[in-house]
Amino acid sequence: MPFPTAGEILATRREPLVSVEPSMNVLEAVRLMAAKDIGFLVVLDGGALVGCVSDRDCARRVILESRNAAEMTVRELMVTRVHTVSREAKITECVMLMHEHGVRHLAVSDAGKCHGVISVRDVMGALVFRHERLLRRLQEERLTLMVDTGNY
């Protein structure tokens, strides 16, 4: 039973990629995150991935520093080092990358195009689903071996 890929996780999504432009103000970006019930946005400039912004960035760099979110642009807040994986990346690779870099989100990108974002919650959900299927399969095999067919 193979591990799912980042692309397979993205395929289960109903919502398209949610992104912002660097020139958007932070207040608008936070409102967008609240409306979409998400905590992470990719920043695209002309379709190119140039950064990311999380709810944690907003809390730490806007609220704690007493900055005005309506006057601050996403460009001023965004993190420019975005961790990415390809659609073919296995979940195990994603987990290791998230752990190694201490991030909760990975952009899924191929050939310079960002296709979506997967979160630690997505990855854990996929792993739990896979393990549940594996355990059910093992239980079925165990029961099959225990059934007396009468063909001794």
pLDDT at site 133: 84
What's the CATH architecture for 6-146? Roll (3.10)
Average pLDDT over residues 18-38: 97
| pLDDT, tens only, 58-82 | 999 999 999 999 999 999 999 999 9
* Nearest CA among 69, 83, 2 for reference residue 33: 69
**DSSP-H helix ranges across the chain:** 6-11, 26-36, 55-58, 74-77, 91-101, 120-146
pLDDT at site 54: 96
Domain boundaries, the chain: 6-146
